[in-house]
Structures are given as structure tokens and as C-alpha cells.
Amino acid sequence: MPSGSTALHLVAGGFGGTAGAILTCPLEVVKTRLQSSSLALRPFCLPVVQLQGLNGALIRPGFSSVGVLELLRTILEKEGIRSLFRGLGPNLIGVAPSRAIYFAAYSQAKEKLNTVFVPESKKVHMLSAACAGVTSASLTNPIWLVKTRMQLEARAKSERHSSALQCAMRVYRTEGLRGFYRGITASYAGVSETIIHFVIYEALKQRLREHQPFLAPGLLFSPKSQDFLGLMAAAAVSKTCASCIAYPHEVIRTRLREEGCRYRSFVQTLQLVVREEGPLALYRGLLAQMFRQIPNAAIVMVTYELIIHLATKM
């Protein structure tokens, strides 16, 4: 991504994030439900069956057996189609500034680091992505906490759901200001996903540039369909790799953002989930995440690149 006006990167990142959030919201709701604890899922999911293990202890199967389509159908039947867009308000409020902050921080950090390290090296991309991820997570965590609480609120069609403001006020009354930053340690751990994503994306993008020798090194791709299909493919591949490697932090973050005090810290939550539900529980909702994140990443990155390209040509 080219260095340039911070405002331009803010606008481009904001538009890209907004487009991706709207189109993939239902899958995010399903993913969040799958990531949450069984207590949060039990009221509107399949019946919980208890089995007796070899040592006589009761074993409660986790919800990893609940498929994406199965949960999607259950939400539609029990809660209605509007529940698939729970949290969209905070998402739209937060995604634009979050992506805008992220892309602006990434661009600025990369511009500065290019003067310190070898320009456009992997070290520059990794450090820039880390700076951008920490900055964005720190400033927007309260919005994402409210969004997660809303997405986990399972109520029947006839019952009224809480609004974003009501949810935020409840968090403030019961947990104080600190409650809005629950899960931020997991978000910081998730910076590793961002680093992997951008390093692979930049490498793939560079390879695409090498196959277009008629373009000057400092220019973006020409506005041909194959160029943007290439960018979408690069974004999808890089995000898939990053999500698979760093996915457990998403499950831990969702658990930390749940109401109650059962999950207290990153390490404690990690140990508790593995001990009670097994290591595979750290990958609950991965399929829904792939369905959501791959098109979302492609939409975000291509929208961002398109806006930057059009702005530089004006």
C-alpha cells in the first residue's frame, strides 16, 4: 500500500471495512455463537446430551458438533432473521473507524520504518502490521465488546432485544469502565494474525507486480478486472493462512467478553477451555470464520486499493 495522505487512507480503510461488515454480518453472528460457551448457546441450540465416560463421569459434548448451517437454521427458526444482524449497529459504528485507524496507522508506520529498515522488507511489513493492530484494538475494543454481547443475546422472536446503548449501559453499571476492555489481551494476541495476513498479502501483491513489468514500481495496479481479481485472491489466501494459524485467540476473546466472571484472563481462559472442552474447542466456529473472513478480507482490501487508486488518478 502506498504512503500518502493519512486522510485518504482513513477514508479508504473506512469504506472497505464498512462494505465487508454489512455483507458478512450473518456469518459473524453464527461464528460468535459457536465460539461462545455452551451456557450462552444452550437456550436456542440443539438439546444437550450427557454421556457417561469410562471413569463414570458425565461428559457433555461440546457444540463443535453443531454445524454452521444447523445453527443458522436454528437462529432463523427460534429468533428470526433480524437476529442474524445482531450487533450490526456497533459493527457499522466501529468498523469504519477501526479499519480507518488500522490502515492509516499501517501506512504511517510503514512509511517511517522504510527509512530505518530495508524498504518494503518483511520486517517493515511485520512491524507496521503490529503497530496498526495494537493501535486499532486499543481504541475500538469497547465497541467490539458491545457487539459481541449483542450477538450472544439469544431471545425468542416475540421478545425484545437490547439496543447497543442499553447493552453499553448495562456493561457500565455492572462492570464499570474496565468492563469495556474485557478481551483486549486476546486482541493483542490476535495481532499475530494481522502480521501473518499482511506479510503474506504484501508478498503475493509483490509477485503480482512482478508479472506486470509495464507498471512503474511506485504505481498501483491498473483498473483492469484481472488486477483486482488478483488482489482479491491475494487477500483471501493471506487471510485464510493467518486465520487458521491464529484462530484460537478469537475463541478466547469471545469467552472473555461474555457476561459473568468465569473467564478472567487470557491464560486462565485458555487453560479452562482446553481442560473442560479439549484442544479442539479452540477451533470452534472456524468454518464459519472461513466463510465470513475470506470474502470479507477480499472485499475490504480491494475496496481499499480501489479507492486509493482512484484518488491517486484524480
Per-residue pLDDT of 219-231, as tens digits, reads 444 445 566 677 7
Residue 251 predicted with pLDDT over 90: yes
pLDDT above 90 covers a percentage of the chain that reads 26
Distances (CA, A) of 233 to 8, 13, 297: 24, 18, 10
pLDDT above 70 covers a percentage of the chain that reads 81
Angle in degrees, 0-180, between the axes of helices 248-257 and 122-152, rounded to the nearest 10: 40
Structural domains of the chain ordered from first start = 6-313 (1.50.40.10)
Residue in the block written with cell 461440546? 62
User: What does the block give as the cell for 265?
Assistant: 484472563
What is the rounded distance in angstroms from the CA atom of residue 98 to the CA atom of residue 118? 28
For residue 218, count other CB atoms closer than 10 A to its CB.
8
| Helix (H), strand (E), coil (C) string for 82-127 | HHHHCCHHHHHHHHHHHHHHHHHHHHHHHHHHCCCCCCCCHHHHHH
Q: How high is the pLDDT of residue 178?
A: 92
Which is nearest to 149 in space by CA: 138, 161, 160? 161
For the segment 192-229, what is each residue's pLDDT rounded down to a tens digit? 988 888 788 888 888 877 766 433 444 444 445 566 67
Residue 298 predicted with pLDDT over 90: no
User: What does the block give as the cell for 46?
Assistant: 440443539
Question: Mean pLDDT lowest for which of 39-48, 116-125, 262-271, 272-281?
Answer: 39-48
Question: Mean pLDDT lowest for which of 38-42, 202-206, 246-250, 262-266?
Answer: 38-42
Region of 57 please: left (phi>0), alpha (psi -120 to 50) or beta.
beta
